[in-house]
Amino acid sequence: MWFDEFQTRIGMLTIAADTSGLRHILFPENRHDAPGRDAWQRDAGALREAREQLLEYFAGDRKSFELPLAPAGTPFQVEVWRTLARIPYGATWSYRDIASAVGKPSATRAVGAANGRNPLPIVLPCHRVIGSNGSLTGFGGGLPLKRLLLELEGALPPQLAAQAQRNFILAGTARE
């Protein structure tokens, strides 16, 4: 497995791939680490295209990815992860929406567990999955990072965007 690390507006990202495709995207802090990292070999050239596409995303110049992907998981996890790729840039779906899309409408908890194990966040946009009430829930990189990604895409749920605007106004008033 080859890897590369590079700085982004959300901190250091680590990406890893093998001959099958991109296997991992890791944030500065992750709920679940990738197995076998000590055997990975650094090769920035092998991951140039993935790095460039991710940097384009953070610059606001890319809304979808064109990379060979090879996430490893159970058949259900892989089905959930493929469904994540259908969530449009700038949109959010609920866990219930994902469960319905995979044909298991009562499996919202299982969808949440699969979402939490997504080895390719951002590219398979698990940050676009929110609670059915519009709340930000669980994210392997932490909720502040999820909020930043949704803000970058202009997809922050309305009640949270309004709250952020109020906080910004109040912070400005406090400085005056």
* Residue type present at position 107: A
Catalytic residue selected from 126, 136, 150, 156: 126
The Cα 82–Cα 98 span in angstroms is: 10
Q: Provide long-range contacts, Cβ within 8 A and 24+ apart, for 47-50.
A: 47/2, 47/3, 47/4, 47/15, 47/16, 47/17, 47/22, 50/4, 50/15, 50/17, 50/22
| 176/172 Cα distance (integer angstroms) | 7
User: Which among 153, 77, 40 has a CA at the least distance from the CA of 15?
Assistant: 40
CA 121/CA 124 separation, integer angstroms: 5
* Residues β-bridged to residue 41: 2
Per the annotation, the verdict on 126 as an active-site residue is: yes
C-beta of residue 114 within 8 angstroms of C-beta of residue 75: no
Catalytic residues: 126
